[in-house]
Amino acid sequence: MIRELIQQLTLHLFGLAALLAVPLAVLARQRVYPNVPLLILLVVPCFLSLLLVVIPESMVVVLLVDAAILVLAVVDATSLPRARAFSAQRELERVASLGKPHSVRVTLANHRRRLAHLWVRDDLPEPFTATPEQFVLRLPARSRAVLSYKFRSQRRGSFTMDCVHLRVRSRWGLLKRYLSLPVPSTVHVYPDMVQLAEYAMLARTNRLSLMGVRRSRKIGQDHDFERLRDYTLDDNYKHIEWRATARRNKLTVKEYQTSQSQRIIFLLDCGRMMNNLSAGLSLLDHALNAALMLAYVALRQGDSVGLICFSDTIHNFVPVRGGMSQMNHLLHASFDRFPRLVESRYDLAFLHLASHCRKRSLVVLITNVIDEVNRFQIERYLGVQVGRHLPLGVLLRDHRLFDAAESVPVDASALFRAGAAAEILNWRHEVVSDLAHRGVLVLDVFPEDMTAPLVNQYLDIKARHLL
C-alpha cells in the first residue's frame, strides 16, 4: 500500500514538472521567466501532494490546484508587454575622459495603455562603472521618464553601447520578461582631458599653484612686446597702456610674446614595463595624461609638439607641429594605444627620432627602469642625445618598493623584504645619478604625481633658455 502511494506521489511530481516544463521552455524562448510570486505558488501543490500519502482520494483536488496555477500563469503571461511597447533614446557626449565621470541621459517612453513596472539598465561595456547601475520605476501609461546617471571608464579606446535593457513584470507579477531596446551609441574614451580645462581656467585667473605648477623666474628679459589689444577681465591691470586707452577712449592692454618657439617631442614606452597599475590606471595611462597636459601647456606657449609611441616597433608618429589643432592629432594618435607584453626597442625609437627630428628639441622619454638591460639602453640612447637635443628622462616609481623599504619589519620575512626593496632603491638612485652625470635631465616621480613636476621642469627649461 505504501509503495503504491509513493509511486503515485512520484508520478504526480514528475507529471507536474513535465506539465510546467513545456510552457516554461516555450516562454524562455521569448525571454520570459517565472517571478518570485509564481515560485511561491508552485510550493502549494508540492505540499498538497503529501496529502496523497494520507488521503489517496485527494488526487483530484491536487490536480485541480495544479491546473488552476497553470491557467493563472498563462492568463498572466498575456499581460506581458513586448519590445514595441517601449522606446528609448540616449543622450551623451561622444568623447569621455579616462577615469572621469561622464553624464548620460536615457529617455524611456511607455506606449501602452497600462502602467508598467520596469527595471532599467544601460548597455555599458565591461570597463565602465555606472552610478547608479540600475533604475526601478513605475512608468504610467502613455508617459515618459528621463533617467540620468554617470559612468567612469577605466580603459581608453572606442566603445559601443548597443541597447537599453529592460525587465518588465506581468500584471499580477507572476512572470517577468527581459527586453532589449536598440539604441546604438559610440563613445571614445581619451586620456584625461578634464585637467586641460582646469589648467586653462586656473591660468586665466593666475591660480596655477593649485595644480602644483609653480612660477619660474626667467633669466634676462622675460617678455617682448607684440601688439596692443582690447582689455578683458582676465588681464592684469598693470599691462594697461594708458596713452592708447586715452587716444581710443577704450581700455587697451599690451600683449607680450614669449621667447622663441621651441620644439618638444615625446617618446612614450608602450612595452611590458608600462603595464603595471598605479591608482587604478596603468603606467601608460598616467604617462599619456601627463604628456598631453605638457603638450597643451607648450602649445599655449607657442611651442611645437610631436609624439612617438613605441614598443617592439613604432606604433604612432605625430610630426612636430605648433598650433592648438595639434592637440587633436596627439589625442587621436594615443587614445587607443595600450601597453603590450613585449620588450621595448629603444634603438628603433631613437633611430626614428634621428631621421624625422633633426632640429634641436626637448626629447621627453617616459618609461620605467626595472633591470640592467633596459637601464643600459636608457643610459646609452639618452646620453647620445646630449648636445644634439636636450634629453629628459621621466622614470616612474613603484609604490610597493617604497612602502616595503619604509615599513617597520615585524618578522624575518618582512625584514628581508625591506632589505631587498632598499637595495633596489639604491640601484635606482645610481641609475638617476649616472643619467645626470651624462648631462641628461631626470625626473624620478610616482605615476599619479607626474603631471605637475613635468610641467614645472618644462617651465624651468624655458626660463633658463636651455634650448
Q: How far apart are CA 357 and CA 228, in angstroms?
A: 35
Buried b (16+ CB within 10 A) or exposed e, 401-425: beebbeeeeeeeeeeebbeebeeeb
Q: How far apart are CA 139 and CA 117, in angstroms?
A: 6
Buried b (16+ CB within 10 A) or exposed e, 50-64: eebeeeeebeeebbe
Running along the chain, 467 residues long, what does each successive block of 10 average in pLDDT?
56 57 64 78 71 64 74 79 88 86 92 88 89 90 92 87 90 86 90 66 53 51 66 79 89 70 91 86 89 88 92 93 89 87 92 91 92 88 91 92 83 86 90 92 91 86 81
DSSP string for residues in 451-465: HHHHHHHHHHHHHTT
The single residue listed with the C-alpha cell 631621421 is 355
C-beta separation of 131 from 103 below 8 A: no
Q: Please, which residues bridge with residue 389 across strands?
A: 386
C-beta separation of 414 from 386 below 8 A: no
Render pLDDT for 129-184 as a digit per residue (tens, 0 to 9). 898 989 999 889 889 999 999 999 888 888 999 999 999 988 888 888 899 999 99
Report helix, strand or coil for 240: strand
Render pLDDT for 286-304 as a digit per residue (tens, 0 to 9). 999 889 889 988 888 889 9
Q: How far apart are CA 315 and CA 317, in angstroms?
A: 7
Q: Which three cell numbers stand for residue 378?
A: 636608457
- How much is the pLDDT for 226? 64
Render pLDDT for 150-159 as a digit per residue (tens, 0 to 9). 999 888 888 9
- How much is the pLDDT for 193? 67
The single residue listed with the C-alpha cell 599653484 is 209
Can you say whether residue 302 is alpha, beta or left, with left for phi > 0 and alpha for psi between -120 and 50 degrees?
left
C-beta separation of 451 from 289 below 8 A: yes
- How much is the pLDDT for 256? 66
Report helix, strand or coil for 280: coil
* Close Cβ partners of 18 (under 8 Å, ≥ 6 residues apart): none
C-beta separation of 83 from 183 below 8 A: no
Query: Count of CB atoms within 10 A of residue 351's CB?
Result: 13
- Structural domains for the chain: 2-77 (no CATH), 83-190 (2.60.40.10), 224-257 (no CATH), 263-463 (3.40.50.410)
- How much is the pLDDT for 36? 79
Global confidence as pTM: 0.67
Report helix, strand or coil for 207: coil
CA 332 vs. chain centroid, Å, equals: 16
